[in-house]
Amino acid sequence: MWGGTPIEYTIAVTGGYDDNVMRFSKDEFNEAVQDVGVMGGSSTFDSFITRFSLYGTKSFIFSKHQSLDLKMLYSSSDYRNTPEKKYWSGGFDVSFKWGSYRNIKYSLRHLDQFYLRHYVNKDISNEQLAPCLFTDRNQSLTLTHRMSKRSWANIGGGFLQRYYSKPFTEFDLDIFYLKAKLNQKIRNFGTISIQMNRGRAVSESHFMPERPSSFNRSYETMEWYAPIKMNKKVPFFSEVGFSTRLEKRIYDAEDPNDPLHAGRSHLDSKYDIWLKKNLTDMVNITLSTRYRTRQTDSAYDWVKDLKSFEQIQFWLTIKWDMIYDNY
């Protein structure tokens, strides 16, 4: 048996708000008031955001239980008060399925020229600022396997290349990671999952014969992610969800001339809540919010203050699911 399905695609429009676009610490808020140069082209610390996303899926059916699925995705984001933050991302998935919750998937993601903020370009001086941007290319392979009638597991690994634009190429990283996730459906409730990611980031330039800096930006990372989705017997809403994501990062640096990284670690915590409502069979709306906090540990108090921050975001997304069939 061989056949194809119509192309399924989704259009999503998102409006959002970010109260700390640059991820400033408390001290940096005070500094930015006195020196607006660190703001780049931004006029405020916060910003409204608009995002347009497009997803397309095509399936090729080999038999009753076997199929090959192709998915393409594209997204473009624009920050109204921070023009440098405008960026796009995209990618694709290729999945081979041989049963319910039994598949293997290759994914490629590209994040293009993501602006962080202006930093001092120390290759020139200790005062001159330059925009800092990076580009991500993330490849991963994930295996999904059903464990029981109501539970399944995902295991996999990946390779993320995070390369910075000049003059900050000494921050380039190659990141290798493994991930494992357990999922459990609960009758008359929804789904509970827990995921663990373990990664190793290698400072690409540090190990080059002609390295731009003697400093080592390599680090180890451990991340825990636990989403809870309630979609059974929920009043009014189609789904209510909550998730916690905790990342512990420990830097390798030991050079006393690099106090910003030497002996440094941090805990990055993200807490998300979302409410989803299906308006029709093809249209849904989701309201979500995120609170993020990073707590940095270092032998230097000024590093603790500099690299710690808080951030709150709000998002409203409308999605339309559509089908294109030219037959």
Intra-chain end-to-end CA distance of the chain, in Å: 19
The strand pairing partners of 13, in sequence order, are 52, 318
C-alpha to C-alpha distance for 292 and 273, rounded to whole angstroms: 12
- The answer, yes or no, to whether the previous bond of 212 is cis (omega within 30 of 0) is no
pLDDT of residue 126: 66
The ranges assigned to domains in the chain are 1-128, 147-306
pLDDT tens-place string over residues 2-11: 556 789 999 9
Q: Which amino acid is at 304?
A: K
Task: For residue 127, count CB atoms less than 10 angstroms from its CB and return exposed for 0-12, middle for 13-18, buried for 19 or more.
Answer: exposed
pLDDT of residue 146: 96
C-alpha to C-alpha distance for 220 and 248, rounded to whole angstroms: 8
pLDDT tens-place string over residues 294-324: 999 999 999 999 999 999 999 999 999 998 7
pLDDT of residue 258: 86
**Could you read off the pLDDT tens digit of each residue along the chain, which spans 327 residues?**
455 678 999 999 999 999 999 999 998 888 887 777 788 878 899 999 999 999 999 999 998 889 999 999 999 999 999 989 999 999 999 999 999 999 999 999 999 999 998 888 766 656 788 899 999 999 999 999 999 999 999 999 999 999 999 989 889 999 999 999 999 999 999 999 999 999 999 987 655 555 445 678 899 999 999 999 999 888 999 999 999 999 999 999 888 888 888 999 999 999 999 999 999 999 999 999 999 999 999 999 999 999 999 999 999 999 999 987 655
Three-state SS at 171:
helix
160-to-135, 136, 213 alpha-carbon distances in Å: 10, 7, 22
Q: How far is CA 40 from the centre of its chain?
A: 23
